[in-house]
Amino acid sequence: MIALVQRVASARVEVDERVTGEIGPGLLLFVCAEPCDAAAQAERLIQKVLKLRVFADDAGRMNKSLEDVRGGLLIVSQFTLAAELAGGNRPSFSAAAPPAQARALYDELVALARGRHAPVASGEFGAAMRVHMVGDGPVTIPLCVR
């Protein structure tokens, strides 16, 4: 799975002017499934994200995790993370998992997160979404879990 994690002061997702997910301070997680991915990759990704030490401790060092600070997690499906530009300027997304597989893995990822952490919010798979976020830092970290 390919992911992009952003530390945020707040974030929300809207579909057709309806808020589908919203958090205060925490992490915004964009995620893309690849054809070789299965539930094991979703499991490893959630474990990594919940323990990722990107929040300040009392000394101001990035030493605390999302679990430590009890921050929010907003998960958004983002197939464009699999973009390939080797053939020119128009991206190809053939490296992304097919929609049925991607939806199942996205649903699995959200369920795993909700089973281990609160609050967890999400976007809407396959929808045209508007993602609003106020970055904190900025702290943006790419992750790839195989």
pLDDT above 90 (res 50): yes
Residue 2 pLDDT: 98
Position 71 confidence tier, pLDDT thresholds 50, 70, 90? very high
Instruction: Return the percentage of the chain with pLDDT > 70, whole number.
Output: 100
Total-model pTM: 0.96
Tell me how far apart the alpha carbons of residues 146 and 128 are, in angstroms, rounded to a whole number. 27
Tell me how far apart the alpha carbons of residues 26 and 65 are, in angstroms, rounded to a whole number. 10
Token code pair at residue 8? 């945020």
Cβ neighbours of residue 85 closer than 8 Å, sequence gap 6 or more: 91, 92
As annotated, the active-site residues are 78-80
Q: Are residues 31 and 2 in contact, defined by beta-carbon separation less than 8 angstroms?
A: yes
To which CATH superfamily is domain 2-144 assigned? D-tyrosyl-tRNA(Tyr) deacylase (3.50.80.10)
